[in-house]
Amino acid sequence: MQHSNRQKGFTLIELVVVIIIVAVLAVAAAPKFINLSSDAKSEVIEQIQASAKTANKLVYAKTQMPSLSKRPHGSRDDITDIDINGDGNYNTRLIYGYLDNEDLVEWLELDDVFAVQEQGRGELYIGYDSNDNGAVIDDLCYFKYVQAASANSQPLYSTENTGC
């Protein structure tokens, strides 16, 4: 009977080739997985914009109902306070029929991970404050809301995601 002296297993060269192939695949795939965080942040900013538009559409539609309790704010004809839930409290402020900056933030019910920054009268920024300086504009990953400027205009919505 003959015995073969053949060994079973991989040679050192085969093992090194497999390791090199796996390393090349990992290097090629890593940027795609690293970029997922950026894509996720960018998508969240887009969803905040969509939620803001929806909130304003709902409130605007409700203001067209004759049963809604509303009152003008002092002598200004651009500001209206409304009782959105009928409890007798005028706790939602509208500018030309659309949500005020502060009320928009309340309607969105944002997570603590987002920073809110107001810029002048009528501009609101919601986004990520990556450098923890209290501002989101310089981080270039935000949603921008500009209140309606007149009775014949609507709010403006935009996003910036180059820094996400």
Q: Give 25-74 pLDDT, tens digit per residue.
A: 777 777 666 667 888 999 999 999 999 999 999 998 888 888 888 888 77
Give domain status of residue 120, yes or no.
Answer: yes
Check residue 7 and give its pLDDT: 64
Per the document, the length of the chain is: 164
Give domain status of residue 107, yes or no.
Answer: yes
Check residue 132 and give its pLDDT: 87
In whole numbers, what is the pLDDT of the chain averaged over residues? 86
Check residue 6 and give its pLDDT: 64
Check residue 122 and give its pLDDT: 86
Give domain status of residue 141, yes or no.
Answer: yes
Mean pLDDT score, 109-120 = 88
Mean pLDDT score, 69-98 = 86
pLDDT at 12 over 90: no
Give domain status of residue 82, yes or no.
Answer: yes
Cα dihedral 44, 116, 111, 58, rounded to 10, equals -70
Give domain status of residue 57, yes or no.
Answer: yes
Check residue 5 and give its pLDDT: 62
Full residue range of the structural domain in which residue 139 is found? 38-160
Domains in the chain, number: 1
Could you write out the three-class secondary structure of the chain?
Answer: CCCCCCCCCCCHHHHHHHHHHHHHHHHHHHHHHHCHHHHHHHHHHHHHHHHHHHHHHHHHHHHCCCCCEEEEECCEEEEEEEECCCCCCCCEEEECCEECHHHHHHHHCCCCCCEEEECCCCEEEEECCCCCCCCCHHHCCEEEEECCCCCCCCCEEEEECCCC
Check residue 99 and give its pLDDT: 93
More confident residue, 83 or 31: 83
Check residue 1 and give its pLDDT: 54
Give domain status of residue 53, yes or no.
Answer: yes
Check residue 32 and give its pLDDT: 67
Give domain status of residue 147, yes or no.
Answer: yes
